[in-house]
């Protein structure tokens, strides 16, 4: 694994592509690698989710290490839902010890939405406090209460955001707080509307946030119009315009059309100043990720990673 390549590419001004996979509920590493290996030479990094949809999976640190050993740069998601501050601090130190650098801090889904709704959430820390904790471990070699952390720690810290079409007077206060807590990059919720992204990014730029944060816009290779509606109804903050759904409905092959739309949007996002890259998520359509990134690379003439 070229550890730190994601951060270096962003700092060099490259337009990056990350993608998200969900670790299976399996003790066989090959089950995870079957998802990940087709993306190894295509995506710049792969996110591994942490208890996605409030369900048990292979634990996220183990999954991140498996990817790293397979030559894939991981982005390890860490949620506040399941662990108290002691466990979270220990997990962050463990990630650093294993060479996992990219950390995306999230609140985590409500357990009541999962398959074990009786599970008790923790939420000892919120996402900003966890970001500040990771930042303190990296920058000061200390836990927040002052206890020293040994060893070399080189976290690249991320946060989440949901783009909006900003009304007059709107200020990105939530994202500013995440920046102040230590965020260096942002991966957003689905926003399949380039015009909304342009206005959102312009507002962030007016507050100088695009100068200090790398913004990666969330996109999806939609499997169908039905899938698009499910995302809108179930994934808070998602933006999928009605004409795009109508285009899917009119297509003879909706999966193929969904991939085409995603590639087109990737190209459009690359033309928007302040957008540093895209983050691809594919609910119930993971198999489309390799084809989408490969087609995007081929159209862009990126011979390094256009095969696949």
Q: Which of 95, 82, 85 lies closest to 122, judged by CA?
A: 82
Q: In terms of pTM, does the model score above 0.85?
A: yes
Positive or negative torsion for Cα 278, 283, 288, 289? positive
* Cα distances (Å, whole numbers) of residue 307 to 51, 73, 200, 303: 31, 18, 33, 7
- Looking at residue 294, what is its pLDDT? 97
Q: Exposed e or buried b for every residue in 24-39, given b needs 16+ CB within 10 A?
A: eeeeebeebbebbebb
- Looking at residue 213, what is its pLDDT? 98
* Cα distances (Å, whole numbers) of residue 235 to 113, 222, 239: 12, 14, 10
Q: Enumerate domains of the chain plus CATH numbers.
A: 1-161 (3.20.20.220), 186-308 (3.20.20.220)
Q: Could you give the CA distance from residue 261 to residue 66 in angstroms, rounded to a whole number?
A: 32
Instruction: Kindly report the backbone phi and psi dihedral angles of residue 48, in degrees, each rounded to the nearest multiple of 5, phi listed first.
Output: -115, 130
Per the document, the length of the chain is: 308
Q: Which of 134, 127, 140, 133 lies closest to 187, judged by CA?
A: 127
Instruction: Kindly report the backbone phi and psi dihedral angles of residue 278, in degrees, each rounded to the nearest multiple of 5, phi listed first.
Output: -130, 155
- Looking at residue 168, what is its pLDDT? 94
Q: What does each of the 308 residues of the chain score in pLDDT, given as a tens digit?
A: 467 999 999 999 999 999 999 999 999 999 999 999 999 999 999 999 999 999 999 999 999 999 999 999 999 999 999 999 999 999 999 999 999 999 999 999 899 989 999 999 999 999 999 999 999 999 999 999 999 999 999 999 999 999 999 999 999 999 999 999 999 999 999 999 999 999 999 999 999 999 999 999 999 999 999 999 999 998 999 999 999 999 999 999 999 999 999 999 999 999 999 999 999 999 888 999 999 999 999 998 875 554 44
Beta strands in 133-249 (DSSP E): 156-161, 185-190, 214-219
Cβ burial of 168 (10 Å; 0-12, 13-18, 19+) is exposed
- DSSP 8-state symbol, 74: E
């Amino acid at each position: 694994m070229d550890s730190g390549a994601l951060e270096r590419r962003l700092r060099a001004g490259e337009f990056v592509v990350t993608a998200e996979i969900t670790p299976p509920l399996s003790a066989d590493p090959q089950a995870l690698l079957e998802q990940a290996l087709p993306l190894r030479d295509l995506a710049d990094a792969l996110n591994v989710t942490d208890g996605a949809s409030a369900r048990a999976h292979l634990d996220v640190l183990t999954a991140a290490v498996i990817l790293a050993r397979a030559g894939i740069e991981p982005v390890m998601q860490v949620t506040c839902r399941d662990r108290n501050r002691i466990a979270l601090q220990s997990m962050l130190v463990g990630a650093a010890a294993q060479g996992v650098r990219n950390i995306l801090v999230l609140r985590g889904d409500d357990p009541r939405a999962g398959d074990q709704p009786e599970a008790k959430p923790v939420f000892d820390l919120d996402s900003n406090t966890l970001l500040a904790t990771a930042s303190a471990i990296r920058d000061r070699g200390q836990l927040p209460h002052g206890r020293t952390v040994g060893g070399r720690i080189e976290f690249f810290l991320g946060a989440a955001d949901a783009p909006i079409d900003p009304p007059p007077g709107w200020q990105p206060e939530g994202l500013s707080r995440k920046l102040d807590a230590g965020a260096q990059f942002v991966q957003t919720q689905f926003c399949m509307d380039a015009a909304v992204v342009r206005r959102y990014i312009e507002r962030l730029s007016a507050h100088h946030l695009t100068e200090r944060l790398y913004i990666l816009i969330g996109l999806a290779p939609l499997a169908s119009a039905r899938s698009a509606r499910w995302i809108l109804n179930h994934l808070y903050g998602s933006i999928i315009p009605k004409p795009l759904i109508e285009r899917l409905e009119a297509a003879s092959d909706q999966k193929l059309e969904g991939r085409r739309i995603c590639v087109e949007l990737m190209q459009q996002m690359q033309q928007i100043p302040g957008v540093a890259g895209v983050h691809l998520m594919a609910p119930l359509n993971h198999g489309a990720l390799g084809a989408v990134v490969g087609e995007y690379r081929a159209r862009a003439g990126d011979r390094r990673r256009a095969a696949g």
